Chains A and B, each alone.
Chain A
Amino acid sequence: MSGLDRTQPPPSGEIRHFDFPEVQTGALPNGLDLRICMLPRLPIVSVNLFLRAGEGSLAEGRAGTAVLTGDALEGGTRQRSGSDLAEALEGIGARLGVSTGWEGTSISVSVLADRLPEAFSLLAEVVLEPDFPSVEVDRVREQRLAEIRQRSMDPSALASDEASRRYYAEGLPYARPQGGTEASIRSVTRDHIRGYADACYQPGCGGLVVVGDIDPDQIRSLSGEHFGAWVGSPSVVDDFCVNPETRERRVWILDRPGSVQSELRVGHVGVARTTPDYLPLSIANLLFGGTFTSRLNLNLREQHGFTYGVRSRFSFRSRPGPFTVSTAVGNDVTAPAVREILTELETLVRDGPTEEEVDAARDYAAGVFGLHLETAGQIASRLNQIIVYGLPDDYYHLYRDNMRAVSTDEVTAAVRAHVRPDEVQVIIVGDADSILSSVEALALGPLQVV
């Protein structure tokens, strides 16, 4: 025997100081924000081009145009067909990704370092010379419509879409699914897409992030070569205020006969990414429903066995995104699970978190931040956040210190300012026959089966 004392966890070793890597910032003459970070650990590079072409700036009847335009980028360029484009990219091992959100469109390429110049040139071709052939536009539209059909039978997607609809006032962008509705997608034509790209795929208010095994001078020169002559600013910008649909607590049961589980969403309109309460609220969320050992998960999963898992989340967007508790629970425990979620919300607001919980969440946030500085993609996505939300250049360099400085009082105050148990919308996607009477008996507020 070694005589090792196993009864106590071993103490942590000495902390090894590690900074967010150094970033070279600049801009092209056309206003495109340029951020370059050397990460020579492995011969790989991530390039991310952010354009302020997002779903948040679209009128309801055109919802989904930004998403479809992003989808259709792989349909080809003036120089080559969609298939040839795929061959050209994958022939050099490059992965092209397009993701469209409320704030904008991100077009990214991941490639081995020795093929970067070719990948850079292809990225520019995709963005500056998209061709949008009709046949490819028709295809991506049909794919989105099929996707919408799939979502309509997926209980989790149904619950999330229903939650957005019930949290936000009708007509607001955040009230609808990010990818648009069946009606709006059907109405988007090739001309709309062409027009949208011409108007909104512009360098102004956008940014280019390059991270990996690179030479910064080469990046500056590649950027100038491929994007230097490109000028303009998006002609449409998102401009809306967010209102909740109601301030009254209500229950919505979306009947899905035969469901063996109920998908739950409980929440309301939250806050914008730019809120001064961002850090205290992030800590509040970690201890409430953002980690395995959060209040919600220990209660609903580890104590009651109601669920495989439960999470809470503030979706921080340019405008106030939703605050939501999400889980899926057995039919017979649906009402008790809703009751527990409400009780946890009420307790959190009434008593605030304990000093110990805040300590633990702060330590988690500061520690886990370092775990996500390993890859080119992770660092690129952080730098992209700076561009999207206009955060200070040194935001991530100061992140851990700022996180550690948050006090329990600040967390409590932020919770009381932004979490309102009396105003939550309770969404249940499940078998109404099995759950209706017990949910009604909770008497949470007006209840509607839809």
Chain B
Amino acid sequence: MNRLAVPWERYRLDNGLKIVLSQDRTVPVVAVNIWYGVGSRNELPGHTGFAHLFEHMMFQGSQHVPKNKHFELIERAGGTLNATTWFDRTNYFETVPSRDLELALWLESDRMGWMLPAMDQEKLDNQRDVVKNEKRQRYDNQPYGDWDERLQALMYPEGHPYHHPVIGSIEDLDGATLEDVAAFFSTYYVPNNAVLTIAGDFDERQVIDLVQRYFGEIETGAAIPPLPGDSRLEPIIGDTVREHILADVPLTRVIMGFRIPPYSSEHFAVAEVSRALLGMGRASRLYRSLVRERRVAKGVVTYAFPLLTSASMLLTWATGYPDSTPKELEAALTEEIEGLVEAKQREVDRAITLMETDLVRALEHVSERANLLSMFDLYFDDPDRLNHEIDRLRAVTVDQIRDFATSQLGSDNRALLVYEPKRNS
């Protein structure tokens, strides 16, 4: 049974910009969402963190929009806005009362077409400071704050596009120039490298004309250059690689990463469902065993990253109690993960039922519909995938999960970070 029927239509402008429309007039709210096919994986050596710094620059005005005006106009309309940068993509989004759809299109089109004339050194220096403070606040000044940088370095070899973290390094941020901004813009921020989704309350007779009017005259760009570095990768790590970190952290934490098939692979669904068996909800294996029954972990976290390039990552972590030893925590985590070779059908049913509720709840927001439609269109050229997400997960069998546990979750495919509190405090 398929409960989801999110309507969508698709167009493509002559300049290559892909458009997805999804109407829902129940609430007078509309979401505008753009995904650009560029992220930290496109960064050249010595330029780590640049895709994210560039995202900040996109809010510094464009030819017809003075600095701060983007925020000011959207907030004045009663809208919300933001952007995020990740490994494979960068997204920009506004949710506004539907009467202000045209305002959002004006703002997004102006920075897609006419960003560079507004750039100057002062803005770059200002946003570089802001981003450095973001790095300090979210990573450097936080217990465990360097985990992703360390884990990526363990899982992906030097030269692989996922070897370095999205936030980058202070030295590379310091080296960023206005010329870099210009080159990045002309290479990646082109209509043929983007998907624009509009979801929610709009007039279907006018919307395509509006999009054509605002985005149609933006010039198409050259073909997107291949990824820098070497993306070739074995499907498994080949060993257990580990790092032991004595640090100013409150509690022992064991973090395990496993290479899994990329998001584009049909086998990714098996990893997603396996992850849900392990860590989604309180009836999951890790919560039930480590947190509730054995009480060796205060909490567990699991995640299957939807990454596109050669291999993605399944992440699990367990945080101990003040008297936990790293060894017992690692042993307990390993035992439960390996135990997935005996997964039961009942666990699969539970996981899929829970994932279905979560998806329906996410789709209550037009902003989330827009975001998913953009992603499916950019990544897979298939917005309708949204309506088949649950079918895709439901097709996963318990045997596939058992096989996955054998082939991907063993000691030959493990990157381990062990954080242990310094005992001087």
Chain A residues within 8 Å of B, Cβ to Cβ: 1-2, 4, 6-7, 9-10, 12-16, 18, 41-44, 74, 82-83, 86-87, 89-95, 110-112, 136, 139, 142-143, 145-147, 149-150, 152-155, 258-261, 291-293, 298, 301-308, 328-330, 360, 363-371, 373-377
Contacts and interface: CB of A to CB of B under 8 A. Distances in A.
B66 to A, nearest CB: 11
A292 B201 contact: no
B126 interface: yes
B3 A90 contact: no
Contacts of A303: 126
B180 interface: no
B360 A9 contact: no
B303 interface: no
A86 B292 CA distance: 11
B99 interface: yes
A259 B287 CA distance: 33
A145 B361 CA distance: 32
A42 to B, nearest CB: 6
A4 B214 contact: yes
- Across the A-B interface, give the 5 residue pairs with the lowest CB-CB distance, nearest first: A367-B78, A305-B129, A93-B357, A375-B364, A86-B282
Nearest to B29: A371
Contacts of B141: 155, 259-261, 328
Contact of A368 (B80, B288, B358): B80
A139 B288 contact: no
B55 to A, nearest CB: 13
B366 interface: yes
B7 to A, nearest CB: 13
A142 B321 CA distance: 8
Interface of B: 3, 24, 26-29, 63-64, 67-68, 71-73, 75-80, 95-103, 106-107, 110, 114, 125-134, 136-138, 140-143, 201, 213-214, 216-217, 248-251, 281-283, 287-288, 291-293, 295, 298-299, 319, 321-322, 349-350, 353-354, 356-358, 360-361, 363-366
A450 to B, nearest CB: 16
Contacts of A154: 142-143
Contacts of B64: 6-7
A302 to B, nearest CB: 6
Nearest to B62: A6
B288 A86 contact: yes
A308 B137 contact: yes
Given A90-B350, A154-B143, A367 B79 contact: yes
B133 A369 contact: no
A261 B136 contact: yes
Contacts of A298: 68
Nearest to A329: B133
Nearest to B288: A83
A87 B283 contact: yes
A306 B129 CA distance: 7
17 contacts: A13-B102, A14-B99, A43-B360, A83-B292, A86-B287, A93-B354, A139-B295, A143-B299, A145-B322, A149-B251, A261-B133, A307-B137, A329-B133, A360-B72, A363-B76, A374-B365, A377-B364
Nearest to A257: B248
Contacts of A363: 76-78
Given A83-B283, A90-B353, A308-B137, A371 B80 contact: yes
A367 B127 CA distance: 29
A146 B251 contact: yes
A183 to B, nearest CB: 16
B238 to A, nearest CB: 35
B106 A305 contact: no
B357 A368 contact: no
Contact of B353 (A93, A155, A258): A93
Contacts of A374: 27, 29, 364-366
Given A10-B106, A43-B360, A370 B29 contact: yes
Given A2-B216, A92-B353, A302-B68, 11 more contacts: A6-B110, A43-B3, A83-B293, A143-B299, A146-B250, A153-B249, A293-B71, A305-B129, A328-B141, A373-B27, A374-B366
Contacts of A149: 250-251, 322
A303 to B, nearest CB: 8
A143 B100 CA distance: 47
Given A305-B130, A363-B78, A368-B79, A153 B100 contact: no
Nearest to B125: A305
B321 A82 contact: no
A370 B97 contact: yes
A153 B68 contact: no
Nearest to A258: B248
A110 B295 CA distance: 27
